[in-house]
Chains A and B, each alone.
Chain A
């Protein structure tokens, strides 16, 4: 037992040793003096980001958090989430206080409306000038008072050129019966409804109940053709030629195509969804100025370029774009033509009633028959009560019999 423990310790030590010798390149920043303010203050900030959404030093790339710590002397407590709703719940719950968060467009609007975000002081974020002009004002935060864009992307159709014949230029192809059983679909309601609404020619932010019900009917019609409702499993399925068509995010499609050259990507002509993830500071941040320093660091050309290379999405940062490879910049997948972007729509924050309706319709689509819940729950309760009575009476009878002898 002792020996195994020391073996374990040895492995741990080896690991921490390897950690400490990981070299990180020194970053070129615009104004080194700016970052010296908290050099010896010993403070820390908490950053809450999407998983796999920052350059972490793999493949000799820049380790952004380590470089920031080295430059400023501020400790970064870094943690990750998987969905906007998860982030919202954590902030709203109030158990943990974060200093920098990175929600998406519609969630930013919601948080602004509910007074959960702090106004940014742009005097502390001089590098925000690097943000490209077309991202300086966004629908979700028109004056950019609360958010600095971090990454963006569009949604389109990834398809396998061996399995799909004919042009892919419309969302209709996801309803094409010839590909029955070979179609993958988004596993989250907002994206799935977005596609159905676009196909019908409605806005993806519609609050009209009849339009939403119509979209739900379309999704129900599509269901028999769908192989699976997926999120990240899409990578393995498409790269392994297990499905022919799947709607997904452009940057991820680019990664998939790099792995499997039979894949291609198209943005349908009906229009698409454009998403923007942006850096914000929640209200109640204890270290607002240090948080703004972190946001400023993320806006530095070299840092933003390293991040965007790691993530594979599109960058709103003009200084970073200058540092990227020609090949990526010229890719119509990651940086589509202006007409395509012009036709793309952002997700906006929906009212509570619409969100509830969306959830209800989505459940209806995913489970064929929800009516059974009306009788199944009382039945289950009844069975449990009867079982409890039977067990108790059996026990009593046994006890009585034992007392007889």
Chain B
């Protein structure tokens, strides 16, 4: 039975990662086509660095993702704190309004944001993109932070205040560390959503702010350039390296903590 469960895991892994591996393999293909392998080359990586349109789009995407996810996290965390303190029907009303953008089809959000920005005569560009990204990111932050607030012992904050800590420092010293995992998850989720959003950005992007997904999409009349394979490979490797480093770091901290606990345990007895 064990081999069955193990092979099942591998099948799932293959389905998830085979496409990415194929893409990485073809980023080294000397031929422009995705069907024929003619030789190994770093050509597309070199071309990628020289392609100002793709690099500019990448930089735009990263700037928008960083700014919008940070602002969305700030806004979302504050909203979650407020929601946590609310009671009764007004709370459920606000909660439902919060859920709405999550279940709303992206294209509806995109078109309505476009109409809104046109109505307010905002020039499409970085501002509109960042505003739009914050809009669809905030709910994810709220949904990540609220459960953490619910899990938190409400007496902790009161205890801090009882001990003479003013409200603001006691929030930063007591509440924030408790909900930090939720806040960070929300931040990372909004960063990811912002990074690969196409539909909403498509409607609100302007002359100076084309993001990477839009650039790739616009290549489909002619042919998506293999430089995109190279770029995807680089992004995949960077993310993988970051994840590995974070995991190793976590493991080390845990080991250290365990040793500390062990030490104090030994000292006691």
A residues touching B (Cβ–Cβ < 8 Å)?
1, 3-4, 7-8, 11, 15-16, 18-19, 22, 46, 48, 50-53, 56-59, 63, 65-66, 77-83, 93-98, 231-232, 235-237, 239-240, 242, 252, 255, 259-260, 311
User: How distant is the Cα of A49 from the Cα of B32 in the complex, in angstroms?
Assistant: 22
B55, B207, B214: the one within 8 Å of A98 (CB): B207
- Give the shortest distance, in Å, between A150 (CB) and chain B (any CB): 14
> Are B117 and A4 within 8 A (Cβ)?
no
Closest to B49 in A: A18
Q: What are 30 sample pairs from A and B whose C-beta atoms fall under 8 A apart?
A: A1-B245, A3-B245, A4-B242, A4-B245, A8-B238, A11-B234, A15-B49, A51-B215, A51-B217, A51-B220, A56-B51, A56-B52, A58-B47, A66-B52, A79-B205, A79-B207, A80-B53, A81-B218, A83-B221, A93-B118, A95-B114, A95-B123, A96-B123, A96-B205, A232-B222, A235-B223, A236-B35, A239-B33, A242-B35, A252-B223
Q: Please tell me if B109 contacts chain A, counting CB pairs below 8 Å.
A: no
> Are A46 and B208 within 8 A (Cβ)?
yes
Interface of B is mostly: helix
With contact pairs A18-B49, A50-B221, A51-B215 given, residues A95 and B31 touching in the complex (Cβ less than 8 Å): no
Q: Which residues of A contact B208 (CB under 8 A)?
A: 46, 77, 79
User: How distant is the Cα of A239 from the Cα of B52 in the complex, in angstroms?
Assistant: 29
With contact pairs A50-B218, A56-B51, A80-B215 given, residues A240 and B117 touching in the complex (Cβ less than 8 Å): no
Q: Please tell me if B34 contacts chain A, counting CB pairs below 8 Å.
A: yes
Select the residue from B51, B52, B224 with max chain A CB neighbours within 10 A.
B52
A11, A95, A236: the one within 8 Å of B124 (CB): A95
Contact with A along B244-257 (1 / 0, CB 8 A): 01100100000000
> Are B221 and A51 within 8 A (Cβ)?
yes
> Are B241 and A7 within 8 A (Cβ)?
yes
B residues touching A (Cβ–Cβ < 8 Å)?
31-36, 47, 49-53, 55, 114, 117-118, 122-125, 128, 204-208, 210, 214-215, 217-225, 227, 234, 238, 241-242, 245-246, 249
User: How distant is the Cα of A53 from the Cα of B47 in the complex, in angstroms?
Assistant: 16
User: How distant is the Cα of A259 from the Cα of B33 in the complex, in angstroms?
Assistant: 8
Closest to B31 in A: A259
With contact pairs A51-B219, A231-B220 given, residues A240 and B33 touching in the complex (Cβ less than 8 Å): yes
Q: Which residues of A contact B206 (CB under 8 A)?
A: 79, 95-96
B125, B218, B241: the one within 8 Å of A82 (CB): B218
Q: Which residues of A contact B238 (CB under 8 A)?
A: 7-8, 11
Q: Which residues of A contact B204 (CB under 8 A)?
A: 95
Question: Count of A-B contacts with CB under 8 A?
Answer: 133
> Are B223 and A232 within 8 A (Cβ)?
yes
With contact pairs A57-B51, A78-B53, A259-B33 given, residues A48 and B207 touching in the complex (Cβ less than 8 Å): yes
Supplied contacts A80-B219, A232-B220, A260-B36, 4 more A-B pairs, CB within 8 Å: A19-B50, A93-B114, A96-B124, A252-B223
B114, B124, B249: the one within 8 Å of A1 (CB): B249
User: How distant is the Cα of A231 from the Cα of B242 in the complex, in angstroms?
Assistant: 37
Q: Which residues of B contact A255 (CB under 8 A)?
A: 223
Q: Which residues of B contact A96 (CB under 8 A)?
A: 123-125, 205-207
With contact pairs A18-B49, A57-B52 given, residues A252 and B34 touching in the complex (Cβ less than 8 Å): no
Q: Which residues of B contact A3 (CB under 8 A)?
A: 245
Q: Which residues of B contact A63 (CB under 8 A)?
A: 52
A4, A58, A239: the one within 8 Å of B36 (CB): A239
